[in-house]
Amino acid sequence: MLSSAKLSIKKALNAIGIEAHRFHPDTSPLARLMAALHTFNIDLVIDIGANEGQFAKELRAGGYTGRIISFEPLTDAHHRLLRESNRDSAWHVHTRCALGDRIGDIQLNISGNSVSSSILPMLAAHSSAAPESVYLGHESAPLITLDSVAPLYLDGAQAPFLKIDTQGYEWHVLDGALATLPKLRGIQIELSLIPLYEGQRLWRECIDRLEAAGFVLWSLQPAFIEPATGRTMQWDGVFFRS
């Protein structure tokens, strides 16, 4: 039970939109992820859809010191990603490209907030919940498969971990990683509860697919919330081989 002093501090912080927690798996999503990465001895993180490096920087803040390989297709975000990784010798940024189920070229939809950019058309459920995410433009990018480049990075890795944040395009990334998946120890993937992008697969299908590939659902963390209603629209799902 909180003391009256701690309760007063908590109320004051909540009133200005801040909620403070201990850095512990019980209360912190990052601490939960760090505990899982440590449990499975993860020594390589493949970060697909890195944007400006937010996920990699979180890992470093949480204490992960192993190798990180980041992929990002947007030109502006890729430039910032290179700058962020410049002082970290264990963080490598791949040449600008998108990941999918084939090798070629692809047209990207650029969102106003950058992080919601996708190869797929955005649906009204997404744009109405986050008006800042609407598409403002387009650009092309090379498209590759994870299988085509993974051998370059998996050499020497004992327990690789794959993170996919591709705004509805996750299924296509998995289709292009059929030879790589058996070599992975864990995966983090976005799981949408409702359609947010045209043609995307939803959470039940993604969970079934990963379980069929030998992965066990380890944890779920809300990733996209509709502010007006509090409805969870997307989870980050973390999976490991049992």
Mean pLDDT in residue range 202-215? 98
Q: How many domains does the chain have?
A: 1
pLDDT at position 26 is: 78
> Residue 202 pLDDT more than 50?
yes
Bridge partners (DSSP) listed for residue 190: 236
Is position 210 within any domain?
yes
Inside any domain, residue 12: no
Query: Does 183 reside within a domain?
Result: yes
Asked, for residue 11, whether it belongs to a domain, the answer is: no
Domain assignment present for 233: yes
In a domain, 95, yes or no: yes
**Res 13: pLDDT:** 46
pLDDT beyond 70 at 2: no
More confident residue, 82 or 13: 82
pLDDT at 17: 54
User: Quick check: 160 and 46 in contact, CB under 8 A?
Assistant: yes
**Residue spans of alpha helices (H) in the chain:** 4-15, 29-39, 54-62, 75-85, 124-129, 146-154, 170-175, 203-212
CATH of the domain at 116: 3.40.50.150
Task: Give the domain extent around 65.
Answer: 29-241
How far is Cα of residue 234 from the mean position of the Cα atoms in its chain? Answer: 11
Q: Does residue 14 form part of some domain?
A: no
Q: Is the pLDDT of residue 148 over 60?
A: yes
CA-nearest of 57, 53, 58, 56 to 23 is 58
**Does some domain include residue 15?**
no
pLDDT at 15: 53
What is this structure's pTM?
0.90
Intra-chain end-to-end CA distance of the chain, in Å: 36
